[in-house]
A and B are shown apart, each in its own frame.
Chain A
Amino acid sequence: MADAVLTSHPAAGVEPFGPKPRRVFSRRNIFLYGTLIIVSLYYLLPLYVMIVTSLKGMPEIRFGNVFAPPLEITFEPWVKAWSTACTGLNCEGLSRGFWNSVRITVPSVIVSIAIASINGYALANWRFKGANIFFTILIVGAFIPYQVMIYPIVIILREMGIYGTLTGLVLVHTIFGMPINTLLFRNYFASVPEELFKAARVDGAGFWGIYFRIMLPMSLPIFVVAMIIQVTGIWNDFLFGVVYTRPETYPMTVQLNNIVNSVQGVKEYNVNMAATLLTGLVPLIVYFISGKLFVRGIAAGAVKG
């Protein structure tokens, strides 16, 4: 095969013509693909171990052969993780945490994206008095560590009477998603040509008219980006979940932690692996479905700040 492609050194009498021949095993390709393969292995190996372990029975795991594929495939750990695994006294598996997480994530994502997109739109297109100060405050907010605010928020939620409820947690997620998402939307809307906005004003559209009829239909990619950021962020959140909810409203991540860290009895590695995979499934699915739009949206927002 090498002979066929090695014509990149034109032999005497061979005129260069058409695309320049490229060698498959050039130094550049070896480095490029070598690095990519090594990095992929680095990231994929733990995932492989998890999947394999979750499909083994406990006796097989005790042999200690971590990388070996399962001799006997069993889905029993998955079933157990979902419906009967115990966290302390309560043996309902992850299912309750899953539904809690859904009830937390869906309203948080919708409310935070709705508000952030309107914020971004107002900041980018309707330069009201004090817009810059407002924007600066919002951005500073993005850099304050969450931990600083945990206790004050506990007090605020308690005074509002929603401490420990899902409503309270949804409110917290909405607020903390605001800076980064507003920035995202502001930059996206700022990249929309200003003349489009002017034309719509001449055409008699108002604040909401322009938002719903001109800006929204043009900004699907950035909405997908914001949705991915919010879904993964809120779904994977542990800190707020454990602080602002009660055991019966724990999100999936907190419950997963409780299952994995429960100290009674034997460590069921296969159940733990299955539970972890189940918990990570939602963000993974979101990525797979919307990966292309995600990249496009990030690039579109990045062109102009």
Chain B
Amino acid sequence: MTSVLVKDLSLNFGAVEVLKKLNLDVQQGEFVVLLGPSGCGKSTLLNCIAGLLDVSTGQIFINGKNVTWEEPKDRGIGMVFQSYALYPQMTVEGNLSFGLKNARLPKDEIAKRIARAAEILQIEPLLQRKPAALSGGQRQRVAIGRALVRDVDVFLFDEPLSNLDAKLRAELRVEIKRLHQQLANTMIYVTHDQIEAMTLADRIAVMRGGLIQQFDSPQAIYNKPVNRFVAGFIGSPGMNFLEGSIAAGSTFSADGVDIPLARYEFARQPAAGQAVGFGIRPEHVALNSGADWPFSARVKVDVVEPMGSDTLVWTKLGSHNLAVRVPTERMPASGDMVDIGFDPMRASIFDSGDGGRL
């Protein structure tokens, strides 16, 4: 069942088109992450769904009801903001009850909902404190609680963890995932952090320039990006790209490097001589494995970047930089000659013209 449906949504600020005829279909109970670089319109889209921005054209449905003209409070949504946006002069309890009092709920119902939310989020001891007396993580919990007490079907998160330090971010990330499993609400989550997107999402919508580039499961987006932008945006360290062209006999060729593409599953058949970009993720390249790869080469190690659990090894393949991710215990020294190899089946090939996947 569809929970949130965005139909041909456009939003213009003057002459600037922020969202361009955008469509999005979120299923009941699904966790959808809107991911993209700054200025791609992801927060704008969320604000439109919340009703905080008027749309230029298009429609928004929540639970089958057309809410395009509805006020935020009538849309059945709860929202969590990056800066927490707690009311500074109210206690935690006051913050949680503000929306319920505005909705004129009976007192015992308000108390019941606050007690439930406080228990789920473990903020019972904090109820009488002011936001200023809370830590960042506690504040964000209260902000989530404020959405929770509204007892709504759809939760909207606008970069809720961006203001927290790395450790706390990881903790709250797990907690949000646990919360989603427990409540089974629809959640739409905006972030520019791909780790959050990959770990939390049932489906990720990668956005750029007011358009959704790809809307799919994290695995599909990671393994089969539909275009060069998605491929480059997802993954850290980023995908290696070799610029070249398709040579006769299903081979990729770039200044002296020939990669056989017999095992590659083409999305659409390229023409011979077509200019393409060949992308391979650093973790899909093996180093000194001794195995027999469809493509292998002997290269010199340029730079070694140890990152703790993994090490990034920079080499050159032809004239292109190539990063290889290896376990730290098998780290070579810079200057060593090493064997690298990979299976072109794991690669992604993009048209150099429109950037689309081949």
Contact = CB atoms under 8 A, between A and B. Distances in A.
A198 B102 contact: no
A203 B99 contact: yes
A195 B146 contact: no
Interface stretch (A8-16, A156-164, A169-177, A211-219): A211-219
Contacts of A196: 85, 87
B78 interface: yes
Nearest to A192: B88
Contacts of B51: 201
Contacts of B81: 195, 198-199
Contacts of B98: 200, 203, 205, 213
A204 B99 contact: yes
B52 A202 contact: yes
Chain A, interface residues (CB within 8 Å), range? 10 to 19
Contact of A218 (B82, B83, B89, B158): B89
A69 interface: no
A196 to B, nearest CB: 5
Contacts of A204: 71-73, 99, 102-103
Nearest to B94: A213
Contacts of A217: 89
A195 B83 contact: yes
A205 B102 contact: yes
B79 interface: yes
A196 B90 CA distance: 13
Given A193-B85, A217-B89, A218-B88, A202 B102 contact: no
Interface string A125-145: 000000000000000000000
Given A217-B89, A218-B89, A202 B73 contact: yes
Nearest to B81: A195
A209 interface: yes
Interface in B90-109: 98-99, 102-103
A201 B52 contact: yes
Chain B, interface residues (CB within 8 Å), range? 20 to 34
Contacts of B150: 203
A191 to B, nearest CB: 13
Contacts of A201: 51-52, 71-73
B261 interface: no
A201 to B, nearest CB: 5
B259 interface: no
A199 B89 contact: no
Contacts of B103: 204
Q: Give the most central of A196, A200, A203: most B CB within 10 Å.
A: A203
Given A199-B79, A203-B99, A217-B89, 19 more contacts: A195-B81, A195-B82, A195-B83, A195-B85, A196-B85, A199-B81, A199-B85, A199-B146, A201-B52, A201-B73, A202-B79, A203-B73, A203-B102, A203-B146, A204-B72, A204-B73, A204-B99, A205-B98, A205-B102
The 4 A-B residue pairs whose C-beta atoms are closest, nearest first, are A203-B99, A204-B73, A204-B102, A195-B85
Interface of A: 193, 195-196, 198-205, 209, 213-214, 217-218
27 contacts: A193-B85, A195-B85, A195-B158, A196-B85, A198-B50, A198-B72, A198-B85, A199-B79, A199-B85, A199-B86, A199-B87, A200-B87, A201-B71, A201-B72, A201-B73, A202-B72, A202-B79, A203-B99, A203-B102, A203-B146, A203-B150, A204-B99, A204-B103, A209-B102, A213-B87, A213-B98, A214-B87
